[in-house]
Structure 1
Amino acid sequence: MKAAVLQGTKQMEVLDWQYPIASSQEVIVKVKSCGICGTDQHIYHGHPGSAEVQPPIVLGHELAGEVVEIGSEVSSLQKGDRVSIDPNIYCGTCQYCRSNRVHLCSNLQAVGVTRDGGMGEYCRVPAANCYRIPEEMTFEEAALVEPLGCVLHGIKKIHLSSLSKVLIIGGGFIGQLFLQLVKHQNVASIMVSEPAENKKELLYKLGAEEVVHPMNVSSVEADVVIECVGRPESMELAVKSAVKGGQVLLFGVAAPETTISVSPFDIFSKELTIKGSFINPYTQEEAIALIAKKVVDVQSLISHRFTIEELPEAMGDYPNLRVSKAVINYS
């Protein structure tokens, strides 16, 4: 089979790769669509993903496809089932798994991170990580269930009401998902901080009441601030923009060495709540339902589509392509 294999930092090539063999509780999925996540770019540039990455590896943890082989002990799936994949595999025995915090698992494994993923034509997946999708759902939509699940986990960490003034920092793909979910909560107002002029029209269409350049946000105050960028300046802005009693969700993925300057006195005197959010525990089915019911639109957020042959060049030139969200499609 063909796969785009990460051989090392900034080293990816399309190779004839070993066809996966399913264990008794696994299935083989013929990948139909695979999203390219910002985390894939982090890994490509030598940073860790949700877990440590050991090349050579086939990346791609946002994937969907068709079940073509079934392990001997699998009874929940059949050949031909159309499925979306939750990539995260938990050990079930560490202190975090045993206290219902599986996403913090000490032995976390993940399809497309610690084992081969969706940037190959076929993928080996635990049957328990496969979720059937409705017939009317496209494979592109199904591949983007995973990032929506991550956003769902994040939004559950904050309290929103009809009185909440919300600031979303970053109008890229993740900010666009948050925008739709926040809009669905009937909050008082939604402002998005985004420098790219070409994203404004879509952000307004998705529910933003005001889109401002980051340079003009310094005087903005919000009850809830959702940071979707992962840069020091945007995270510092998130804390500064929160009103007394405000909530700050730091969702953007920063590089491991990134640090920020925050005034502890501001946190103390404003009694801020600052939270992080990591991956997507128990959100896959809800994300599928939200897409199926058209509560959240993911299809129109796709800005680029690549073939597997185009992937190595695209990954190397990603920043210059101005990608908002890209997917790889297979025949």
Structure 2
Amino acid sequence: MQALRKTTPEFGLKLCEVAQPASPAAGEVIVDVAAAGICGSDVHIYDWSGGYDFLKKAFPVTIGHEFAGKIAELGADVGALRVGQPVVVIPSVECGACAACVAGRLDECRDRRGIGMLRDGGFARYVSVPAMNCLPLPDTMDLGIAALCEPLSIAMSAIKAAAVAAGDTVLVMGPGTIGQGIGLLAKARGAKVVVAGYDDEDRLRNVNALGIDATLDLKTRPLSDALTLAGVAEFDIVIEATGVPSTVQAGLDLLRPSGVLVICGIHGAPVSFDAAKLVRNRHQIRGTYRASRATWGEVRDFVVAHQAELAPMVTHRLPLTSAIEGFEMARNKIGSKILLMP
């Protein structure tokens, strides 16, 4: 089968011919991948722009961690899963051996391995995954929309970290899929939302298609205009989803005293900010990364219930043979979520 792989610590990916996964071990299944999304993390792996040196020990590795498909083959002891069952896959695999895992606190595992990072992922026709990482979906589910569960799980984690509530004003910095998801989920909680991006016309248009209150293109207007769009003097919450270091201080500058700034963007370099100003304003900075298994369950249910509402987030569906074209589109901020269809 063909698989999109990272093989060397430099720019680029390779579409390779590889063997299909062997028959699954106990507790594992083979998923026939229907759709896999190109994530911002995948783009950084592609252009090797920093922050992913930990992948070197896994080379060559098939990437792709946002995917859904159908069960093709079952190992022993996989519970109620069945061949042909549509599933979305949680891409974080716990070690099962550390103190947290032994105690049943899987979300605190210190030695987890990411599917599509440290073990082969979803940019291939078939992938072997733990059965416990498969969340069942309805037979009628659009599996392209289901592939949005992974970025939406990050968005939901950011919403929870910020404790967004009805009546809050929220500035989302970054209009990518995660930023779009944050905006949509914040709006669903009753918050007033502004999403800002820089020279990002396609994705800001997608934000509008999702029914989010207001957007701001920083190429033509200053970030301070977000306050005018929200009708406030300061934001209650700022959520950074860009990975651009300068956005952290820029967000803090628009935050009310005792307000919360959540960082969910992956930064390839250290971030600096005015600590004295942060202390005097009693600002809080919170980080969020992968989602808990409980959050994944919530997101799966949300995606199943809101397929039509989420549809504008997916703008392109390409064959795996057009993967590099899709990655270049993502690098150049063309469209929104780009799916590869193995």
TM-score (norm 2): 0.88
Which residue of 1 is the match for residue 282 of structure 2?
A: 271
With 280-289 and 199-208 compared, the bigger mean Cα shift is at: 199-208
Q: Partners in 2 of 1:131 and 1:28 — Cα distance? A: 14
Alignment equivalent of 2:224, drawn from 198, 218, 224: 218
Determine the C-alpha separation between the residues in 2 that align with 1:197 and 1:61: 26
In structure 2, distance between residues paired with 1:326 and 1:248 = 28
**Match of residue 133, structure 1, among 115, 131, 137:** 137
What is the match of residue 340 of structure 2? 328
Verify: 1:171 aligned to 2:175, yes or no.
yes
Change (3 A) 1:97 1:224: farther
Matched, 1:288 2:291: no
Give the corresponding residue for 2:266.
Answer: 253
Aligned to 1:18: 19
Q: Secondary structure at the match of 2:150?
A: helix
Does the C-alpha gap of structure 1 residues 177 and 317 become closer, same or farther in structure 2, counting only changes over 3 Å? closer
The answer as to whether partners of 1:290 and 1:296 remain within 8 angstroms in 2 is no
CA distance in 1, matches of 2:68, 2:25: 20
| Matched residue SS, 2:13 | strand
Say whether the 8 Å CA contact 1:167–1:222 is kept in structure 2: yes
Task: Letter of the 2:69 partner, please give it.
Answer: G
Partner of 1:34: 36
State the AA in 1 paired with 2:298: E
Tell me what 2:117 maps to.
113
Contact 1:62 / 1:143 at 8 angstroms: preserved in 2? yes
In the TM superposition, residue 277 of structure 1 has moved relative to its aligned partner by: 0.6
- Give 1:5's aligned residue: 5
Q: In 1, Cα distance between the equivalents of 2:281 and 2:329?
A: 43
2:195 pairs with one of 192, 199, 220: 192
Once the two structures are superposed, what CA deviation does each residue of 1:151-186 show, in whole Å capped at 9, x if it has no partner?
112211112233311111112221111111011111
Letter in 2 for 1:45: D
Q: Distance in 2 between matches of 1:296 and 1:27?
A: 29
User: Are the equivalent residues in 2 in contact too, given 1:97–1:105 (CA < 8 A)?
Assistant: yes
Tell whether the 8 Å contact from 1:74 to 1:127 is kept in structure 2 after alignment: yes
1:307 counterpart = 2:319: yes
Deviations 1:277-311 (A, max 9, x none): 11121122211111111188332111222211111
1:207 CA displacement:
3.4
Cα 1:314–1:200, aligned 2, differ >3 Å: closer, same or farther? closer
Structure having the higher helix fraction is: 2
Deviations 1:119-164 (A, max 9, x none): 1110001111111101221110121111111211221111223331
Letter paired with 1:6? K
In structure 2, how many angstroms separate the alpha carbons of the residues matched to 1:274 and 1:99? Answer: 29
For the 8 Å contact 1:177–1:296, the answer to whether it is kept is: no
Deviation at 1:316, TM superposition (A): 5.0
Percentage of identical aligned residues:
28
Q: Is the 8 A contact 1:51 1:109 kept in 2?
A: no
- Alignment partner of 1:91: what SS? coil
The match for 2:230 is: none
Task: Give the Cα separation in 2 of the matches to 1:217 and 1:50.
Answer: 33
Counterpart residue number, 1:122: 126
Structure 1's 145 and 161: CA in aligned 2 closer, same or farther, altered over 3 A?
Answer: closer
Question: What is the TM-score when the length of structure 1 is the normalising length?
Answer: 0.91
- CA–CA distance in 2 between the matches of 1:197 and 1:14? 30
Alignment length (residue pairs):
327
Residue pair 1:245, 1:271 contacting (<8 A) in 2 also: yes
Once the 2 structures are TM-superposed, how far is the Cα of residue 202 of structure 1 from its aligned partner? Answer: 3.4
After TM superposition, give the deviation of residue 198 of structure 1 in Å.
Answer: 3.9
CA distance in 2, matches of 1:193, 1:263: 22
Task: Quote the RMSD (CA, aligned, Å).
Answer: 2.3
Task: Check whether the contact 1:223–1:242 (CA below 8 A) recurs between aligned residues.
Answer: yes
The separation in 2 between residues aligned to 1:97 and 1:236, in whole angstroms, is 37
